[in-house]
């Protein structure tokens, strides 16, 4: 099992395709694993835990069927192995409650999904710069 740069947990297909498009435009060559709901995300993270292959970054949507992103966040941050992985919440919600709850549950960042392509491009560029170049993981 390889080491993943991004574990991307989001049920929204168009968002994921754009995400890949942005990574390509940014010339990012890392490994991305996408899971389409919280439950599958959880299962996958448990597999990584078994294999002791910590991914570098988790990008997590909140509003997902089966297992809500907030619940998965709580699970991750309560797990001794998983809790050290930075979790970036990326949601369409600008709801103050969602934002505060995320930080309360130890999210590392909360980003409201940008409304247009260029903003997303800039946002992802910052994320990659910060988490893969500036920060030591």
Which residues are near other proteins by CB under 8 A? Answer: 12, 14-15, 18, 21, 63, 91-95, 113, 115-118, 120
Q: Cβ closer to other proteins: 5 or 11?
A: 11
Structure tokens at 2: 């390889």
Instruction: Give the shortest CB-114-to-other proteins separation in angstroms.
Output: 8
Instruction: Give the shortest CB-95-to-other proteins separation in angstroms.
Output: 6
Instruction: Give the shortest CB-105-to-other proteins separation in angstroms.
Output: 18
CA 115 – CA 112 distance, rounded (Å): 9
Instruction: Give the shortest CB-89-to-other proteins separation in angstroms.
Output: 13
Q: Cβ closer to other proteins: 60 or 82?
A: 60
Structure tokens at 115: 């409304």
CA 128 – CA 25 distance, rounded (Å): 13
Q: Cβ closer to other proteins: 52 or 118?
A: 118
E strand intervals along 1-137: 6-9, 32-35, 57-60, 87-91, 109-112
Q: Cβ closer to other proteins: 80 or 115?
A: 115
Structure tokens at 79: 């797990």
Handedness of CA 15, 41, 31, 108 (dihedral sign): positive
């Amino acid at each position: 099992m390889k080491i993943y740069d991004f574990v991307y947990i989001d049920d929204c297909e168009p968002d994921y395709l754009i995400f890949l498009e942005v990574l390509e435009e940014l010339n990012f060559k890392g490994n991305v694993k996408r899971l389409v709901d919280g439950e599958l995300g959880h299962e996958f993270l448990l597999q990584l835990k078994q294999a002791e292959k910590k991914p570098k970054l988790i990008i997590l949507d909140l509003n997902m069927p089966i297992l809500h992103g907030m619940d998965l966040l709580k699970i991750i941050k309560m797990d001794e192995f998983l809790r050290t992985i930075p979790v970036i919440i990326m949601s369409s919600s600008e709801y103050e409650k969602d934002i505060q709850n995320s930080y309360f549950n130890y999210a590392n960042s909360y980003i409201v999904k940008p409304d247009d392509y260029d903003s997303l491009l800039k946002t992802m560029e910052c994320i990659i710069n910060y988490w893969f170049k500036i920060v030591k993981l």
